Each structure stands twice: as structure tokens, then as C-alpha cells.
Amino acid sequence: MIQYSKLQHKKVLVLGLAKSGVAAAELLHQLGAFVTVNDSKPFDENPQAQQLLQKGITVICGRHPEDLLDEGFELIVKNPGIPYTNPIIEDALKREIPVITEVELAYLVSEAPIIGITGTNGKTTTTTLIYDMLKNANRHPLIAGNIGTVACGVAAEATAENVIVTELSSFQLMGTIEFKPKIAILTNLYDAHLDYHGTFEQYAEAKFGITKNQGETDWLIFNAEQEIVKKYASRSKAKKVPFNASGRTEHGISADNTTIYWQGEPYLSRVNIALPGKHNLENILAALAACIIYGCDKSPLEEVLKTFTGVRHRTQFVREWNGRKFYNDSKATNCLATKVALEAFNQPIVLLAGGLDRGHSFEELRESMKNVKAVVAFGDTGERFIEFAKSCGIEKTILAKNVEDAVSLSIPLSEIGDIILLSPACASWDQYKSFEVRGDLFIQEVMNL
């Protein structure tokens, strides 16, 4: 860890705990700041706050006092989920107090270079692929962000021998000032989190934060098939590496049906790549580009691609049973994600779908249902999804009680060579605590067959 001295004796407020708040408070305390933590959960029910108090950190719990900022704070580190419409944040911005997220702290103290990955879809798969490839190439990676340990906690332990691979959300990137990854990746941009950001433009601008401070010695890897991404990439001062999964190009990294190309020259064959789907090919291209830039040899990267079958709950291959292949895509909590999963396969599909009813239409899926031969639906939207499937010309439909029931009901509808795909197109909260719980139960049932 770099001994960063600019925060020593500064009064800093950490707003909101959870993992990121605890890690930020501990790091700030270690850097010599005078830290105050404010969290809405009462102290008696807040073991994290109790832990911080024992370390000598000031803790205010159970409320957000209106006069909190009168204490003279010089910096606020907020939990990424706290919106900028929060009264304390609004008051801080009026007083011109800088507001950051813990990702900024990670950058300030890290001895290790950072590879940052953002975008609407594909972040987790791309991040995991890069980590696995770098690990196989003996580059001593550490994984951080939404799928690993809190970034500032990782950065505090990293040395110059490491490289930090971190998945970054728009919420985290909004709270950066100096943050500058050595290699940045922008996978794609679609409408998302508009309840937080207000407009697509504000959301996209937050994502642009991953490259806004990059210079000529840094790298930006970006999706060259999306005009909106190309528009934002054009504003970056970094060296640019476009990726394109729809055919060979002379610049950057690209792929056709058989081959992946680096700077227009054949790099490796696609024949042994385990991960299916065009969307995953895009993730693979972005990950490969990052590792090539980082100086990795081809062989360890190719070895990972032969065995990597997906991140848990994201078009994850579970097993083959009696000639049927089962895939867990429980993370598909909206139609766009299910559409991407359906388009990843050319074989006949038995689709397991349904969940929390938010009133949205399934029309976005219509053109992607051409390979779906049968549907097993469950949850609040079960009956609605079956009606939609029938309107697409799918005759074989069954209403299941839940995802566990859906697995057994899918078997008689399938044949050798079919894909049985859980891709719900709906959130899980009508029946399950999270999409992870839903996916784990699906896996359990499939493994019990």
C-alpha cells in the first residue's frame, strides 16, 4: 500500500456501512484521518458499527442528524447505493465537500496497477475471465469490486507484484475524482438504473468515468459494434482497442465464425472455446485484449478458454444428463438478459421462466423465441408468460409451482440434443430471497436427476 498522507488529520465522514463502508472506514483510520461513521441501523443491531467503535472510530447510528455536516468534514465517502438526492449528500455538494466512493480510495493507495471493467452487461464474466487468465499466466491478480472483496480493502494489501481486476458499477464510478485504471474496459451501454441516474445520458456519463482521467500511456478496450460506446470512447485520451464479434477487423481484437484476430492477424481458433453465445464472445474478446496488453503469452489464456463455462448464474453450464444440456441463467432478471441468453444457442430450447410481476411486457423476447420448443413457467408471471409463449406459436407449455418443480417438468418436454435453460426474465423476490438462491435450487435439482 502506498503511504498516502493527504488524508492524515482530515475529518472524513463515511456515510452508510455494509462491506464498502467498513473497509473504507478502516482504511481511512489507518491513513490517519479523523473518521466518523453514520449509518441508519441502530447501534444495538449493528455489529459492524460496534466493531469500528472498538477501533476508536466515531460512530453515529440509528439516524442521520440534520446538523451532521456542521462538524466540518473535509471529505465524504458514501456507500455506492446511496443516491445523490439523499439530503446529506445534497447538503454536502452545496457546501462543496467532495463526495467519493471507496473505489477512489483504492486508486489512491494502490501499489498495483488496476484493470477496471464496466458496462451494462458482461462485467462479471469479463472480470472473472481476466482474473482466471492472469492467474493462469502467473501474473498474481487480485479480484475486487462487485464480485470480490471491496476494492479499497484489496488495494490496501496489494503490492507492485499484483494487478487488481475490479468490476465497477455506475454508482461507484460517479464517486471518483482522480481514479484512473491502467486498462479500462467498456463492454456495452443500455438503459439501466434510470431510477438512480434519472436519464440514460447521466447513466452513460457515469460509466465514462472509467476512462475520463486516462492518458496516453493508458488503454481503453471498448465495444466497436455499439455507436453509443464508440461515441464515448472517442472522448478518451487513452490508447484505444476496439473489439468486434461480428467479423475480422484490421484494428483491435475481432472474431469471425472460426477465428479470433489480434490487429487483423489470426490469434487463436474458436473451436475449443467452451463458453457459448455472441455476448460471451464479446466478453472473451475484451478479456483477451486486456491480457494481451498486459503482456501475457497466448497458451495460458487459451487453456482458460477451453475450460471456462461461465460465471455462476450467468448462462452457466451445469451438466449434461441423458443428452440434455442444462444452463443456469438465474441472473437474467429482465427481458434483455433472457433475450441475450436465448440468442446464445442454435439448438432447441426448453425455457424455464417467470418470477416477480412488475407489469412489464415480454414482447422484447418475441423474435428470440424461434428456437424455444417448450416453456415451463413459474412465479407471479407464470400464467402471463405461458400466454406469451402460446402467442409465439409454442404449443408445449406447463405451469410449475416453482423453479424446483420446473426442472422435473421440463424433462418430458425435451429430447436428446436439447438445451434446458433457466433464464427467468423476471426478478426472484416473489418466491426467493435472491436470484442466487433461485439459481442454486435449480442447480441442486439438476444435479439430483
Could you state, in order of their start, the residue ranges of all structural domains in the chain?
A: 11-100, 103-307, 316-447
Greatest alpha-carbon span in the chain: 69
Question: pLDDT tens, position by position, for the chain (449 residues)?
Answer: 888 899 999 999 999 988 899 999 999 999 999 999 999 999 999 999 999 999 999 999 999 898 999 999 999 999 998 999 999 999 999 999 999 999 999 999 999 999 999 998 889 999 999 999 999 999 999 999 877 789 999 999 999 999 999 999 999 999 999 999 999 999 999 876 777 778 989 999 999 999 999 999 999 999 999 999 999 999 999 999 999 999 999 999 999 999 999 999 999 999 999 988 888 999 999 999 999 999 999 999 999 999 998 888 988 999 999 999 999 999 999 998 999 999 989 999 999 999 999 888 999 999 999 999 999 999 999 999 999 999 999 999 999 999 999 999 999 999 999 999 999 999 999 999 999 999 999 999 999 99
pTM metric for this prediction: 0.84
Pick out the residues of the known binding site for ATP.
119-125
Q: Is the CB of residue 123 less than 8 Å from the CB of residue 117? A: yes
What is 316-447's CATH number? 3.90.190.20
CATH of 103-307, one of 3.40.1190.10, 2.60.120.10, 3.90.1150.10, 3.40.50.970: 3.40.1190.10
pLDDT the model gives residue 312: 84
The tens digit of pLDDT for each residue in 270-327 reads: 999 998 888 899 999 999 999 999 999 999 999 999 999 888 898 899 999 999 999 9
Give dist(CA 64, CA 398) in Å, integer. 50
Residue type, 437: V
Q: How far is CA 311 from the centre of its chain?
A: 11
At the top level of CATH, the class of 11-100 is: alpha beta
Pick out the residues of the known binding site.
119-125
Query: 140, 77, 104, 401: which is closest to 296 by C-alpha?
Result: 140
Give dist(CA 362, CA 366) in Å, integer. 7
Same fold? 103-307, 316-447: no
Angle at CA 244, nearest 5°, toward 290 and 305?
Answer: 50
